[in-house]
């Protein structure tokens, strides 16, 4: 991407993890994972003003951080702590449509307290990846006046930390979650009604991620549906939602404005990055992309939904 001074800074807080993933392609151990790993890699294609905050253990391979540095991601906010890196073990159904968590070893994430460096406190865009809601709140209390704060969450926190979660939701501009989480949070099956209930909790925008059915944005200006690319080869859906968030927020940082039209284009960029992510294991699908390939898939998505007006 060409670099413009208008780029806004993006601060990403999230997990950096190792994943063991079982499923139709066998068991893959110690894959690089975690929300921040996907988000930062996806966002870095759009701007060189991405910084991440997180924690890794003594066992975490330095090369993964070096790789981010090479992508101009500021990793100075990634703390290395005594203990093991956060480790997630999951198993996908043969059709990759559902998964279950087999094990979660918090490791150094169990005692993590995000400390935002001075240089990061003025971030213009903040993305709170899917972590414990009190930690998300902690970060919000440390940043100054971001133009946009977006958050992700998951069923676990809706189940066991609803009160803390609602406190975070009340303070963000945008919440992203998947369809089942939206239904669970709103206690309402219909997605349009669920979105309306979530908007009443505070955010001005709700983004509902629906996997291969795309993503829906609901906000004051109405609704927008971003398509998902129908892919013939899906290897690993892990990180799809985070890659979507990274593409979206990275594009917003790049574009330098938050107009409804820019947000729509950013949703499509999210869908583009999510589609690359699921084609490979771990963050492999986000490696080695070019502006040309990203633009090409964007154009494929445009073509996928293009139609002429009917004249009745």
Q: Is 2 in the site for its own copies (CB under 8 A)?
A: yes
Q: Cβ of residue 6: shortest distance to its own copies, in angstroms?
A: 13
Please give the residues from 51 up to 90 whose contact with its own copies meets the rule CB under 8 A.
none
CA 124 to mean position of chain CA atoms? 17
- Read out DSSP for 111-126? G------GGGTT-SEE
Given the complex with its own copies, which of 3 and 76 has the nearer CB atom?
Answer: 3
Residues touching its own copies: how many (CB under 8 A)? 53
Residues 274 and 163: their CA atoms lie apart, in Å, by 30
Cβ-Cβ contacts under 8 Å for 2 (sequence gap 6 or more): none
Crossing angle of helices 240-255 and 35-43, in 10° steps, is 40
Select the span of 54-62, 78-86, 91-99, 130-138 touching its own copies (CB under 8 A): 91-99
Q: Cβ of residue 11: shortest distance to its own copies, in angstroms?
A: 22
Q: Cβ of residue 89: shortest distance to its own copies, in angstroms?
A: 23
> 32 has which bridge partners?
18
Given the complex with its own copies, which of 76 and 291 has the nearer CB atom?
Answer: 291
CB burial of residue 161 (10 Å; 0-12, 13-18, 19+): middle
Q: Cβ of residue 43: shortest distance to its own copies, in angstroms?
A: 13
Tokens 């890699």 appear where?
A: 41
Please give the residues from 178 up to 237 whose contact with its own copies meets the rule CB under 8 A.
189-193, 196, 210, 212-214, 216, 218, 222-227, 230-234
Given the complex with its own copies, which of 34 and 237 has the nearer CB atom?
Answer: 237
Q: Cβ of residue 30: shortest distance to its own copies, in angstroms?
A: 27
> 163 has which bridge partners?
none
Q: Cβ of residue 200: shortest distance to its own copies, in angstroms?
A: 14
Given the complex with its own copies, which of 118 and 308 has the nearer CB atom?
Answer: 308
DSSP state of 30: E
Q: Cβ of residue 3: shortest distance to its own copies, in angstroms?
A: 11
Count other C-beta atoms under 10 Å from residue 287's C-beta.
Answer: 12
Which tokens sit at 98?
């559902």
How far CA 173 is from CA of 72, 127, 190, 219, 252, in Å, comes to 27, 10, 22, 10, 14
Select the span of 3-11, 105-113, 125-133, 267-275 touching its own copies (CB under 8 A): 267-275
Residues in contact with its own copies by CB under 8 A are: 1-2, 46, 94-97, 189-193, 196, 210, 212-214, 216, 218, 222-227, 230-234, 251, 254, 261, 264-265, 267-269, 291, 294-295, 298-299, 302-310, 312
């Amino acid at each position: 991407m060409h670099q413009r001074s208008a780029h806004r800074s993006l601060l990403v807080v999230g997990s950096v993890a190792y994943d063991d993933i079982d499923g139709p392609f066998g068991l893959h151990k110690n894959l690089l994972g975690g929300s921040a790993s996907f988000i930062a890699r996806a966002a870095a294609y759009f701007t060189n003003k991405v910084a991440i905050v997180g924690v890794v253990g003594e066992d975490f391979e330095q090369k993964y951080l070096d790789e981010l540095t090479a992508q101009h991601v500021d990793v100075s906010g990634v703390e290395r702590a005594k203990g093991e890196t956060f480790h997630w073990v999951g198993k996908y159904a043969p059709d990759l449509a559902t998964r279950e968590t087999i094990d979660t070893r918090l490791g150094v994430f169990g005692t993590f307290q995000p400390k935002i460096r001075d240089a990061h406190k003025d971030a213009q865009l903040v993305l709170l990846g899917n972590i414990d809601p009190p930690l998300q709140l902690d970060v919000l209390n440390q940043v100054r006046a971001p133009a946009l704060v977006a958050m992700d969450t998951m069923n676990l926190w809706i189940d066991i930390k609803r009160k803390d979660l609602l406190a975070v939701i009340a303070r963000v501009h945008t919440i992203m979650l998947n369809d089942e989480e939206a239904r669970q949070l709103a206690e309402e099956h219909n997605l349009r009604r669920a979105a309306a209930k979530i908007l009443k909790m505070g955010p001005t925008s709700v983004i509902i991620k629906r996997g291969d059915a795309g993503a829906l944005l609901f906000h004051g200006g109405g609704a927008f549906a971003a398509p998902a690319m129908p892919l013939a080869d899906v290897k690993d859906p892990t990180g799809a939602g985070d890659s979507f968030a990274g593409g979206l927020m990275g594009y917003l940082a790049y574009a330098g404005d938050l107009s409804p039209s820019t947000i729509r284009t950013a949703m499509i960029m999210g869908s583009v990055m999510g589609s690359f992510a699921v084609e490979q294991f771990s963050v492999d699908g986000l490696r080695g992309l070019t502006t040309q390939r990203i633009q090409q898939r964007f154009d494929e998505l445009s073509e996928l939904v293009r139609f002429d007006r009917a004249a009745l």
